[in-house]
Amino acid sequence: MSKEKLTTLISQIHENQPDNIMEIYFVKKPSATKMQSFQPQVSTQVQHDILNMVLPCAKHQLENTALVDYNPVGVADGEMEFLAQDSVTQLNDFLTSINDDNLYKEMNNLSVSHISFYCIKITFNDKELYLFRQFSKMKKLRSGYIARFVNDELVAMEGDFLGVDENTDMIYFDNQVYVLNHISLERIFNYRDVYLQKTNEAMGELLRQGVFQNLEQFNEDCCRDVRIMKRFTNIMTQGRLPLFFENYEKVPEIVSELGLDIEFDEDSKIIYREKSQLFHIINLMSDAYFRSLLANRMGIAKTEEALS
């Protein structure tokens, strides 16, 4: 775990205020699987201004959150997720895009409206860290009239504008990705591809076990709902699906007791009819239902209920 090392490094950088340790990349995505990175020149003063704005905020988030494994379903308040570099395929695509051979340095070839995210790279004491931020298009500002005062006169400012703020969505350091903003992993690195991959893996297991009638329609509806795909990703990552198969004989009783809208054929296969059944079925597969100790009531885990 590198959270302490990361926090220490950020503190050292902020305290020492070294010159020329920062590079910034603005990234365009021509397609879902391709990235183009543009690197502008940045003066020493602007580097200091940006780092003095960004680093204290990132350090505060690191120090005031508990580190937990990434959970596609969601994260609780006061927690920050992490996952290994090799779990984020598009991170490697980004790192490839900033190689000298691939990097774009002529900024007039980049339209501000096409920027997807930006990354601040910091190199200090032979260590590298990357701070990622989703890009704000500033559409309202650009569509208005932008001006400033010059010698008591209101003067229009021409050109397109972009913003760099104090927030960080993700940090990559020492082969770990720290997710400070849960949705950013999906938006910056197209993590929906992973959700779809894990959902397809689950469908393969369901097909082999033969517990579904009309699995094809179930598969199609699941792959159209990112919430369901996230739940399948969680199920597959945590290895919960075998538990569902091993205890499948209990499923009809649970369905009956909870009054769920699920029916079974003569071979005890689940009869899937429509999308309204998706969350009932996914809750069964993820073992989200429980019985309370005091009232002996059946319920659903709070995190799962919030997403249903």
Paired tokens of 100: 């000298």
Do 70 and 179 meet the contact criterion of CB atoms below 8 Å apart? yes
104 DSSP β-pair partners = 38
pTM of the model: 0.82
User: What is the predicted pLDDT for the residue at 307?
Assistant: 42
The tens digit of pLDDT for each residue in 280-295 reads: 999 999 988 876 655 5
Q: What is the average pLDDT value for the chain, to the nearest integer?
A: 88
User: What is the predicted pLDDT for the residue at 182?
Assistant: 92
User: What is the predicted pLDDT for the residue at 143?
Assistant: 58
- Containing H/E element for 97? helix 89-97
Buried b (16+ CB within 10 A) or exposed e, 127-144: eebbbbbbbeebeeeeee
User: What is the predicted pLDDT for the residue at 108?
Assistant: 84
Report long-range pairs for 241-246 (Cβ below 8 Å, ≥24 apart).
241/202, 241/205, 241/285, 243/287, 244/284, 244/285, 244/287, 245/205, 245/209, 245/211
Q: What residues in the chain have per-residue pLDDT under 50?
A: 303-308
Q: How far is CA 116 from CA 5, 25, 87, 217, in A?
A: 29, 11, 21, 34
Do 74 and 22 meet the contact criterion of CB atoms below 8 Å apart? no
